[in-house]
Amino acid sequence: MNGNAGVTELSQIDLRSLATGHKRTWDAFVTAASPLINAVVRRTLATYRSSEDDVMDAAQDVFLRLCANNFRLLQTYDPARAGLSTWLAVVARSAAVDFARRRRQATSPIDEVPESALAVEDRHVEKLKIPHGLLTERQTLILKCLYDEERDVSEIAQLLKIDAQTVRSTHHKALLRLREHFKEEAP
């Protein structure tokens, strides 16, 4: 998924040897996985009041989760379905979120919170329900990322592994469909 040194090394890890608890393989795995786990944990804990020690402890939690019960979690990884780095990133994020929830309440700097999340909803204005099936799952996701999360087209393209132009056209088609359904013409 990316070309940095740490993740390239991860692909060379002998997973069978790792799952049997071979010390040298574990050490090599830790060396290769540390940059990724460090980045994921740091990013996840950025929204919490976390110290450097918290980052270290959360990263240790990730590694502990991987080797606990005779490497049971590592044995659930299926190389045919996803790259080790992507799977590890998902596992690390999940462990870091659990760690942060155990420690303290989440807080976000107000500048990083999307405007939509801060806005006080006018409960007097009843929202129009989008009928089920009017938009595809992808169209809904793109609209949510653009308007609820306030993300750039490039970020959404990176997430969905499509080019930015496809994101724009999907967004355009989704709005056309919505306007058509609710009988309003676009300007």
Partner 1 sequence: MSTERIPLDDKALWRRLATSPVAPAAVSDMDFAAWLEGRLPETAAARIEAAVATDPALRQAALELADILGKPLPVAPPRMAVRAQALVGFPAERQVRKSWLASLLPDFGQGFALQRGALAACAVFVAAVGFMLGGGLSERYEDAVYASRQSSTDAARPLGRDTTGELNDLFTDAT
Number of chain residues interacting with partner 1 (CB under 8 A): 76
For residues 33 to 72, the per-residue mask of contacts with partner 1, x marking binding by CB under 8 A and - elsewhere, is -xxxxxxx--xx-----------x--xx--xx--x-----
At closest approach, how far in Å is the CB of 28 from partner 1?
Answer: 10
At closest approach, how far in Å is the CB of 18 from partner 1?
Answer: 10
Does residue 7 bind partner 1 (CB under 8 A)? yes
Restricted to residues 148-177, the positions that interact with partner 1 (CB under 8 A) are 148-149, 151, 155, 158-161, 175
**Distance, first Cα to last Cα, the chain:** 41
At closest approach, how far in Å is the CB of 17 from partner 1?
Answer: 12
Instruction: Pick the binder of partner 1 from 26, 45, 48, 74 (CB under 8 A).
Output: 26
At closest approach, how far in Å is the CB of 182 from partner 1?
Answer: 5
Restricted to residues 71-130, the positions that interact with partner 1 (CB under 8 A) are 76-78, 81-83, 85-87, 89-91, 93-94, 97, 116, 125, 127-130
HEC per residue, 64-121: HHHHHHHHHHHHCCCCCCCCHHHHHHHHHHHHHHHHHHHHCCECCCHHHCCHHHHCCC
Does residue 1 bind partner 1 (CB under 8 A)? yes
Residue with tokens 């807080």: 107
Sorted by sequence, the CB contacts under 8 Å of residue 74 that are 6+ apart come out as 15, 18, 19, 66, 67
| CB neighbour burial string for 157-178, b if at least 16 within 10 angstroms, e if fewer | beeeeeeeebbeebbeebeeeb
Cα 21 to Cα 69: distance, rounded to the nearest angstrom: 11
Does residue 12 bind partner 1 (CB under 8 A)? no
